[in-house]
Amino acid sequence: MQLALLKDITVNQTKELVNGMLGIPYKHLGRDKMGLDCWGVIIYAYKKFGYQIQDWKEYEEDWSKKDKNYFMLNFYKDYYKRWQPVEIPALLDVVLFEGKNGIMNHAGIVVDINKFLHCPKMGVMLSTFHHLWLNKNPKFYRLKERIDGTKKT
């Protein structure tokens, strides 16, 4: 996998972010160091770099197993204004994964050429884009403010 280069976030800044987040426990709807869920990882990481990401609190734990598609309902509300799909991800781009039922049910952020940070039930961890994750049809998205240089806080 290739990695696109953007000027707003450096490799060293990304390493510091990862080191500071690894091991934070899983907490449904968690949004701070006391606990995060997968969308909480996105919000927390982007906040560290001065970006405000939309949040939603209207979803239940294990929602994708109940055929509810909260990423489509919530992420895409803000999608056309703030997110751009990309083929080649850059540091801190969002990656969404599909579950067995075809519903996007997990999120993470790209932190290296072949690695992403996410928060399954075991807590915040670093994973590689190996066959297990690549079989989940990953889609990459870039916050448009990162491209045009504006920050909406």
pTM (predicted TM-score): 0.86
CATH numeric code, 11-52+69-144: 3.90.1720.10
Q: What is the pLDDT of residues 22-74, one digit of tens each?
A: 999 999 889 999 999 999 999 999 999 999 888 876 666 665 556 666 666 66
- Alpha carbon distance 41, 132 (integer Å): 20
Q: Enumerate the domain spans of the chain.
A: 11-52+69-144
CB within 8 Å of 115: residues ≥ 6 apart: 126, 127, 128, 129
